[in-house]
Structure 1
Amino acid sequence: MRILMLAQFYPPVIGGEERHVRNLSIALARRGHSVTVATTWQCGLEEGDIDDGVCIRRLRGSMQRVGLLFSDASRRYAPPFPDPELMYGIRELVLEQSPDIVHAHNWLLHSYLPLKRESGPGLVVTLHDLSLVCVQKNAMRQGAPCEGPAPGKCLRCASRFYGPVKGGATLLGNYLFGALERRVVDKFLAVSEAIAIGNSLSEAGLPFEVVPNFVPDDFGLARPCDDPRLSQLPGDGYLLFVGDLRRFKGVHVLLEAYAMLDNAPPLVLIGRRCPDTPRELPPNVILFESWPHDAVMQAWRNSLFGLAPSILPDACASVVLEAMVVGKPMIATKVGGMPELIDDEVTGLLVPPGDAAALAKAIGHLIGNPELRRRMSAAAHKKVQSFKASTVVPRIEQIYSDIVGHRTPQPHAELDRGHDRFRENRLI
């Protein structure tokens, strides 16, 4: 099949969602499919590239040209409404490649929706967050879980998060094109039951399946890594947090909990600094910014266990899978998709979100029980087998096949006429 992926970011811009898109694209290419990823151009990157058999096309967008719209110049997001240049670039790719499936992963989808035709390619959308019901994508309001959407409440929340003007436009765009998304998507793939429930997919009668994130089959195999950053790590047996160093990720709660412990191993934080990253760290806490992935995996191997104390409902945390694949237990919060990844008291420990005392107690319990860690390590390594590419990717292939099999193919002559009409009416 010919598959066009739509993802606003792609490595080297990195994060859990970006790794998932790359892993899926490469796995599909290795299974014989023709895969192109359309993503937004970011400063310093080539417009075209080949990544392990996957064609990468970086598209320039009108909104991306206005740097003042973005708090982080290195992550210029796709807007929740059609961007004229992105829509034009996607249209060119569709006409050039005639994909069987368009598989979208975030708001870049909204620049494709006006191009969607009944006789065109099938449309699959992976939901990595709660963007169908929440303009912030995380159903959090003033640092606590939101009880549900309401026009006035959502407008105030969007205005606080994005700013008054940008917030209103973002809310309106997400509402209008979210409604269109519900009408035209052939199948939603929710990365966890929590995401399916949070987006009200079943209540709305939308076609969906729960298909989790995954790791490549050879992921976690020990590979030589001579990155000089590794020499900065303390000796084996430290505690490890990997991810954006944000309040929503529970970093403040983690530091508070760690300060309650006596004679604990060092705590290592690896992630991207953000505006709400703590400025002061307790003794014995070491922070490293945005390491390359191979170095992060080596850091996991040398750690005692991992920590994922998120306050927001993480969808299907890739860091948990990465820790499990090298046999590391995790202490995480009982929110979002975490309970679907971690079996409490079996592969790790689950604690209430935002509860520093409970987190400190769980950390102390695991530090003091090496036999429990050994059992959890074995159980974690066993469980992660169901999150390998060889298990998950065939499910996605079957979804593609089912959609393509139920669609009426467009005759090649009509496709050719469509190409000619497009070229005669090219946008300037």
Structure 2
Amino acid sequence: MRILLLAQFYPPVIGGEERHVRNLGRALAQRGHSVSVGTFMHSGSTDTEFDGPVRVHRLRGTIQRLSNLHADSERRHAPPFPDPELLLALKRLVAEERPDIVHAHNWIYASFLPLKVLDGARLVVTLHDYGLVCAKKNFMHLGTHLCDGPRLAKCLPCATAHYGAVKGTATTLGNWASSFAARRVVDRFIAVSHAVARHTGLTRGRAAYEVIPNFVPDDIGILGPEDSCVRELPEDGFILFVGDMMRLKGIDVLLQAYARLEQAPPLVLIGRRVADTPAEFPPNVRVFSNWPHSAIMHAWHRSLFGVLPSVGPEACATVIMEAMASGKAVVATDVGGMPDLVDDGETGLLVPPSNTQALTRMMQSLLDDRTLLSRLGTTSLARVGRLKAGAVVTRIEQVYGGVLCPSASSVVLPAEQRSGEPSC
């Protein structure tokens, strides 16, 4: 197949979603597909380049030129509505690449929707967050509690509080319009967790979808040479948190719970500092930023266990997969996509979000019971295979096949489409 992946960011801009798209492109290319990527222009990049066997096309959009609209100049997000310049660039790209499948990731799909309507290209959209219904993408109302569902009268003030009046209104209304259109013209949605499918309304609507998690490469557990930064880690046997150091990720809850532990080993935090990152940390907490992924994998191998106490509904935490591939248990909150990844009491432990006492109790149990800790880690390593490329990319290929040949589809279809399908 000829496959065009669309993603607003791509390495050297790196994060969980960007790493997923890159890994997916490489895995598909290794399986004999012709793979290209359409992504935003990045400073210092050329219009077209090769990332191994994958052709990467750097595109420009009108919204990306307006730097004052973006909080982070390195991550100028795609709008949830068609961007005129980006739409024209995508039209040229489709004419050049002639893909069988266009596979878009999050809001960049909005700029492709008019082309889908005009040209009839096959379109798959992966939802890595709650952006199909939430202008902030995190499904947290006013940043304090889990949303109970989208309503325009509620979404507008919530987005306005986050973005400001003009940007919040444009983002909300644009997202509502694009979501309405997408549910009618996207051939298949892929939700990265059951929580994403549920909260975005896919489970109650008529759009065809399947729940397929993100994945890690098959060789994720094979360590490369140590980066120099690994030497900064404390001795083996520390608790590890990986991710943005923000309240939504539960960083405040973690620090409070950690302070209550008895005979606690060091706590290592690796991730980006953001606006609400704590200004100070306790003495036994080591904080590192901007580490390469290879160094993070070394940290996982040297840790006792991981902790991911997100207070919001994390869609699909790749860091849990990386911990599992390193043979480590994870203490996580039972919200969002975490229960899809962590088998409570078998590969890790789940606690209610924002519950400091429960988080302390579960971390202390792993420190006190090394037999339990070992058992959870061993089971994690045994079960991570279902979250590796060999298993997950096969499922994505099946979605592509189902789009091109509906009679071969294994995705969840609306009831009225489950009979009388044409044979290929």
Smaller-chain TM-score bracket = over 0.9
CA distance in 1, matches of 2:47, 2:271: 27
**Could you say what secondary structure the match of 1:248 adopts?**
helix
CA displacement at 1:118 relative to structure 2 = 6.6
Q: Which residue of 2 aligns with 1:413?
A: none
User: Which residue of 1 is the match for residue 33 of structure 2?
Assistant: 33
1:108 corresponds in structure 2 to 108
Task: Tell me what 2:155 maps to.
Answer: 154
The alpha carbon displacement at 1:97 in A equals 1.2
In structure 1, distance between residues paired with 2:235 and 2:275: 30
Q: For residue 213 of structure 2, what is the amino acid of its counterpart? A: P
1:406 shift after superposition? 4.7
C-alpha distance after superposition, 1:167-226 (max 9, x if no partner): 00000110111111111000111111111111111211210111111111111112222x
Amino acid at match of 1:365: S
Are the aligned partners of 2:160 and 2:168 in contact in 1 as well (CA < 8 Å)? yes
**Residue type matched to 1:301 in 2?**
H
Instruction: Please show how residues 302-321 of structure 1 align to structure 2 within 5 Å.
Output: 302-321=302-321
Q: Could you list the per-position Cα deviations for residues 48-93 of structure 1 after superposition, in whole angstroms to 9, with x for gaps in the alignment?
A: 2211211111111111111111111111101111111111111111
RMSD: 1.3
Compute the displacement of 1:405 (Å). Answer: 2.6
The 8 Å contact of residues 314 and 337 in structure 1, kept in 2 or not, is answered as yes
Q: Which residue of 1 aligns with 2:411?
A: none
Query: Within 2, Cα distance between the matches of 1:364 and 1:160?
Result: 38
Can you list the C-alpha shifts for 1:84-131, whole angstroms capped at 9, x where unaligned? 111111111101111000001111111111111475321001111111
1:276 counterpart = 2:272: no
The unaligned stretches of length 5 or more in structure 2 are: 408-424
Contact 2:134–2:150 (CA under 8 A) maintained in structure 1: yes
Structure 2 counterparts to residues 74-89 of structure 1, below 5 A: 74-89=74-89
Find the aligned partners of 1:88 and 1:156 in 2 and give their Cα distance: 33
CA distance in 1, matches of 2:47, 2:240: 36
The AA in structure 1 aligned to 2:2 is R
- Mapped contact 1:98–1:121 kept (Cα < 8 A): no
| Rounded Cα–Cα distance in structure 1 between residues aligned with 2:122 and 2:60 | 24
* 1:186 match: 187
Partners in 1 of 2:172 and 2:42 — Cα distance? 24
Native 8 Å contact 1:42 1:75 kept in 2: no
How far, CA to CA, are the matches of 2:282 and 2:79 in structure 1?
39
Structure 1 position 46, deviation (Å): 3.2
1:42, distance to aligned residue in structure 2 (A): 2.4
2:139 corresponds in structure 1 to 139
In structure 2, the residue matched to 1:351 is 351
Counterparts of 1:125 and 1:342, CA distance in 2: 25
Q: Aligned ranges for residues 369-380 of structure 1 at < 5 Å?
A: 369-380=369-380
1:63 corresponding residue in structure 2: 63
Q: For 1:111-122, what aligned pairs fall within 5 Å after superposition?
A: 111-117=111-117, 120-122=120-122
How many Å separate the matches in 2 of 1:119 and 1:4? Answer: 15
Q: Which residue of 1 aligns with 2:203?
A: 202
CA–CA distance in structure 1, aligned partners of residues 169 and 240 of structure 2: 39
Aligned to 1:426: none
Query: Which runs of 5 or more structure 1 residues have no equivalent in the other structure?
Result: 408-428
**CA distance, structure 2, for counterparts of residue 371 and residue 209 of structure 1:** 37
Aligned residue pairs, count: 406
> Per-residue deviation at 1:372?
0.8
Match of 2:416 in 1: none
SS at match of 1:240: strand
Q: Read off the aligned partner of 1:65 and give its amino acid letter.
A: R
Q: Residue 47 of structure 1 aligns with which residue?
A: 47
Distance in 2 between residues matched to 1:117 and 1:52, nearest whole Å: 32
Q: Is the 8 A contact 2:332 2:349 kept in 1?
A: yes
In 2: Cα distance, 1:115 partner to 1:289 partner:
40
Distance 1:346 1:394 in 2: 26
Instruction: Deviation per CA, 1:275-316: give whole Å up to 9, x if none.
Output: 011101112011111211001111111111001110111111
Match of 1:231 in 2: 231
AA of the residue aligned to 1:125: V
CA distance in 2, matches of 1:377, 1:270: 21
Structure 1 CA distance, aligned partners of 2:2 and 2:165?
42
Equivalent position amino acid for 1:49 in 2: E
Q: CA deviation at 1:338?
A: 0.6
Q: Spell out the pairing of 1:264-413 with structure 2 (5 A cutoff).
A: 264-406=264-406
TM-score normalized by the length of structure 1: 0.93
Q: Which runs of 4+ in 1 moved over 6 A?
A: none
Q: Which moved more, 1:314-323 or 1:125-134?
A: 125-134
1:338-391 C-alpha deviation (Å, 9 max, x unpaired): 111111111111111011111111111111111111101110011111111111
Q: Distance in 1 between matches of 2:401 and 2:151?
A: 38
Separation in 2, partners of 1:204, 1:99: 28
- Tell me the SS of whatever aligns to 2:50: strand
Q: Which moved more, 1:239-248 or 1:392-401?
A: 392-401
